[in-house]
Chains A and B, each alone.
Chain A
Amino acid sequence: MDIISFICSPGVLCQVLVGLSRTVILFIVASGLSLILGVLRIPNIAHGSLYMIGAFLAFSVSKAFGGGITGYWMAILLAPLIVAALSFIAERAIFCRLYEREHIMLFLLTFAFALIFGDLVKLVWGAEYRTVSMPRFFQGSIPIFGLPFPIYNFFLLFMGPLVAIMLWVIVNKTKMGKISRAAAVDREMVGAVGINVSMVFATVFVIGCYLAGLGGALVAPIVNVTLGMDHTLIIEAFLIVIMGGLGNIWGALLGALIFGVTQSLGILIWPQFGIIFPYAAVIVVLSFRPTGLLRSTW
């Protein structure tokens, strides 16, 4: 088969689209991680756990509202908000005291949190897996290039740019965003012009964690919601952030694109070992650009 016609074949294009919808989840979660890393300088290992909690909450909320489309929308709305509220409590109680500590301390602390959250999830939801039923509205598929493309993936493809634009507006156009960009570089000076940096950091932390919860809620209908879903994701999210440039939101987008698309193409090219392609991509990227593709704020 000649390479051009292979790339342009409907199967491949459809697979790329599926890869892109996976990219959306990765981007949403990784951008939250990157935001926290860039502004607060916390390498938050527990970010994956918040994603998992978001997914479990989506399950519970959706059930509480009787499943269906109402349940689904309430889940998308409430699950990330509950995650954000949880993270606000954690930030005010613990993290806000630790910004000055070395990264290794923060790393260990958030790792501890990841373990604690894992056990909490086990306590609350048990060890068996849960499924969030896909509302009828999102069931079915639309033919693209003659192949069926699930409607829910379209929805995800719409959510990705929406989140990216909203983040861009918050970071670049709001006073809050400008303050946090300045504080990421020179926290002391931002305080010395009268800004309560601690509150700004809390807000950024909560927004970042909200994104983890949102990723979890969005992914819930297309995966088994289960303990351990945080592990793979946190590794992928960190690789994406490192590949894109620490703290750079657009880097997270680029990293997620590379990761998601190489993964879906990998599965097509070499089904048993498709999973190694994104990791290979990370290695290639980092060997050419050790500090990531876009400018890191570190």
Chain B
Amino acid sequence: MLSVNAIHTYYGISHILFDVSLTVSKGEVVGLLGRNGAGKSTTMRSIMGLTPPKQGTITFNGQEITGKKAYLLVRDGIAYVPDDRRVFADLTVEDNLEIPFSRSNEWTKERVYDLFPALGEMKSRRAGNLSGGEQQMLTVARALMTGPELLLLDEPTEGLAPLIVRDLEQQILKLRDAGISILLSEQNVKSALKLVNRVYVIDNGRIRFEGTVAELEANEDIKKKYLMV
């Protein structure tokens, strides 16, 4: 469904991604693992059209989407959860959920509140006053409101307490069961491996490994070198 083919991405003149290729098939949860500064967020931003690649192509459902504007990609069915939790801080939780473009009525506020009951209890709270974990739930909920086929989840567990991470893992599994394909970037290898079908390991802007969870588990070399586990 998503296919990234040999992209090169730059911030200004600094070359960040080198020849990055990856695919996500329908119904799959694919992990993108790497340490700080490896290029995970840049890969996500490249796909989402926020930092378009200078070379290479990206296709989604058979159509080329390289360089397409982010708001149009949302309408095509891609949703994005950034790593830095950009909730609309001045607005209430409810308003945060009302802003997204809704491409299908499959995901309603009620359904999102069902998935994240905590949010349902603070509908009129200012989003900027939520805790880190609540803000993270809100960014996922907000992305769901667009009714995505593919969810780009950039380090959802970053900085969250272990208990909240466990909750979030459950919710991600529910999304997978609801038929949403997910590209999940993580530093937290242990958490990620519980959720994904396949993994890519990225380091210094290059894909260093691709394979199944079992293959990665068996590859001590890659784990030591790029993931520090």
User: Which residues of A approach B to under 8 Å, CB–CB?
Assistant: 175, 178-179, 181-182, 185-186, 188-197
Contacts and interface: CB of A to CB of B under 8 A. Distances in A.
B82 A182 contact: no
B40 interface: no
Contacts of A197: 71
Given A182-B88, A182-B99, A195 B82 contact: no
A194 B89 contact: no
B118 interface: no
7 contacts: A178-B91, A178-B99, A179-B99, A181-B91, A189-B82, A189-B88, A194-B74
A182 B142 contact: no
Given A178-B98, A191-B69, A193-B146, 16 more contacts: A178-B95, A181-B91, A182-B90, A182-B91, A185-B90, A188-B70, A189-B86, A191-B70, A192-B50, A192-B80, A192-B82, A194-B74, A194-B100, A195-B71, A195-B101, A197-B71
A232 B79 CA distance: 48
Given A191-B70, A193-B74, A175 B80 contact: no
A192 B70 contact: yes
Interface of B: 48, 50, 69-71, 74-75, 79-80, 82, 86, 88-91, 95, 98-103, 142-143, 145-146
A55 to B, nearest CB: 35
A170 to B, nearest CB: 14
Contact of B88 (A175, A185, A188): A185
Nearest to A179: B99
Contacts of A179: 99
Contact of A194 (B86, B88, B98, B146): B146
Contacts of B90: 181-182, 185
Given A182-B88, A185-B89, A189-B86, A175 B99 contact: yes
B95 A193 contact: no
A195 B71 CA distance: 5
B91 A193 contact: no
Given A178-B95, A189-B82, A189-B88, A194 B75 contact: yes
B103 A186 contact: no
A178 B48 CA distance: 23
Given A185-B88, A185-B89, A186-B86, A193 B98 contact: no
Top 8 A-B residue pairs of the complex, sorted by shortest distance between their CB atoms: A194-B101, A194-B74, A193-B100, A182-B88, A189-B86, A191-B70, A192-B70, A191-B71
B142 A193 contact: yes
A160 to B, nearest CB: 26
A193 B82 contact: no
Nearest to A175: B98
A188 B50 contact: yes
Contacts of B69: 191
Nearest to A184: B90
A188 to B, nearest CB: 6
Contacts of A191: 69-71
B127 to A, nearest CB: 10
Contacts of B71: 191-197
B143 A193 contact: yes
Nearest to B90: A181
A179 B90 CA distance: 11
A197 B88 CA distance: 14
A199 to B, nearest CB: 10
A192 B74 contact: yes
B99 A190 contact: yes
Nearest to B103: A194
B81 to A, nearest CB: 9
